Amino acid sequence: MSYGTPPPGGGYGQQPYGAPAPQHPSATTALILGILSFVLCGPFTGVPAYFVGKRAEREIAASNGTLSGDGMAKAGWILGLVSIILTVLSLIALVVIVIVVAVASSSNA
């Protein structure tokens, strides 16, 4: 049983017009730095992730659709910001603990 020749283009539907916009290279960098800020390096990669991601997001918005990757840039700077906030909160908690221990040890002496 033969079904005839397949439709042109392989039968997968109409392909979108034109090529997709190239991805901004800094968007990938920001995402990688943001992930590394959680996994390994904390503020050492969190701060650059924030600034690289914000810059890439601005450049993508200014490109009027000629660049893509805004989601990765946004994820990168958000991960960097969360990493910075967690680092600051950890440092504040460490200072509070040191002060509490110092006060407790001086009152027992």
Taking only the tens place, the pLDDT of each residue in 44-69 is 899 999 999 999 999 999 998 889 99
Q: Which of 85, 32, 39 is nearest to 56 (CA)?
A: 32
> What is the residue extent of each domain of the chain?
22-108
For the ranges 43-47, 81-85, 102-106, the one whose mean pLDDT is highest:
81-85
pLDDT-based confidence at 72, cuts 50/70/90? Answer: very high
Structure tokens at 18: 């034109």
CA–CA dist 82, 74 (Å, integer): 12
Residue 23: helix, strand or coil by DSSP? strand
CA distance 24 to 47: 19
**What is the C-alpha to C-alpha distance for residues 101 and 80, in angstroms, rounded to an integer?**
32
